[in-house]
Structure 1
Amino acid sequence: MSLDKILSISGKPGLYQIVTQTRNGAIVESLIDKKRITVGAHSNISILSEIAIYTLTEEVPLRDVLKKVKDKENAEKTSVSHKDDKDTLEEYFFNVLPDYDEDRVYASDIKKIIQWYNLLHTNDLLDYLEAEEDGDSSEEE
């Protein structure tokens, strides 16, 4: 499963994976408690593969940021919690992505990224970060 199948739904905690698409939206399963819910096409849904983080020079895809966290943590859970204070989160994120735009990337965004990384780690989905990159390069050849 790639990040194309992992969603964030506004107003709902955590991440969801698409189980199937329906005429009016999709049936998704929570990565937290495995409960399935139906989301309508009108819901505010963000697909993880389409999210990018602002830096001072460009927008970095979320996949690349998650890979940097994975490298920093040696493929383990993060050393900070998404519940830590703002200064701790910003210092941690500065070590991951030194040139992130502090004016446009808020502490709430950093909390989400850390929480999402840990959820993907818990569900053994971090390996797909590498697989997607390999797939991308083979398509270019």
Structure 2
Amino acid sequence: MNLRGLVSVTGKPGLFKLIGQNKGGFILESLDAAKVKIVINMSNSKMATLEDITIYGDEEEIRLLDIFETLKTSDIEIPAVKADGTTLRNFFREVAPGHDESRVYSSDIKKVITWYTIIKELPLFNEEAPEPLGEEQA
């Protein structure tokens, strides 16, 4: 799964693809059909790559990519985003066992479902992630 360059921006719905940088900030393009381009200034907005996002766990944090991989390879039925809290929580117990139920809210689960729905159709979803920069091949 190659989700490098896909980001979430605080206060903006959906996901964005990082397409460049200028002196005003980062240039992003929405992943929806509109393909809206925006410039995000890091002094007044927070941006997180999907590769770096983690979910609170009881013992250790759970990577969002691991949850997406579980969804991709399993036959777990994904509930509707508007499902009730119990349905969402039961679903998340299957895909993210060991998550901290007191710190992971229904809104977080809805966000994971929404993001997965957006990216599962992208070609990047089935590509291998490139090696991190600076690591040499043995």
TM range (shorter): 0.7 to 0.9
One-letter amino acid matched to 1:60: I
Residue 49 (structure 1) aligned to one of 51, 70, 89: 51
The structure showing larger relative contact order (alpha-carbon pairs under 8 Å, at least 6 residues apart) is 2
TM-score, normalised to structure 2's length?
Answer: 0.85
**1:1-141 to 2 correspondence within 5 Å?**
2-32=2-32, 33-42=34-43, 43-73=45-75, 79-128=78-127, 131-132=128-129, 135=131, 141=138
Whole-angstrom distance in 2 between the partners of 1:98 and 1:38:
37
5+ residue gaps, structure 2: none
In the TM superposition, residue 37 of structure 1 has moved relative to its aligned partner by 1.1
Whole-angstrom distance in 2 between the partners of 1:86 and 1:59:
22
Indicate if the aligned counterparts of 1:51 and 1:62 stay in contact, CA closer than 8 A: yes
In the TM superposition, residue 140 of structure 1 has moved relative to its aligned partner by 6.9
One-letter amino acid matched to 1:25: G
RMSD: 2.3
Indicate if the aligned counterparts of 2:6 and 2:15 stay in contact, CA closer than 8 A: yes
TM-score, normalised to structure 1's length?
Answer: 0.83
5+ residue gaps, structure 1: none
Report runs of 4+ in structure 1 exceeding 3 Å deviation.
138-141
Percent identical: 36
Whole-angstrom distance in 2 between the partners of 1:92 and 1:104:
16
- In the alignment of these two chains, the number of paired residues is 134
Indicate if the aligned counterparts of 2:24 and 2:39 stay in contact, CA closer than 8 A: no
- Cα offsets for 1:43-70 (capped at 9, x unmatched): 1211111111122111121111110111
Indicate if the aligned counterparts of 1:82 and 1:111 stay in contact, CA closer than 8 A: yes
Indicate if the aligned counterparts of 2:3 and 2:125 stay in contact, CA closer than 8 A: no
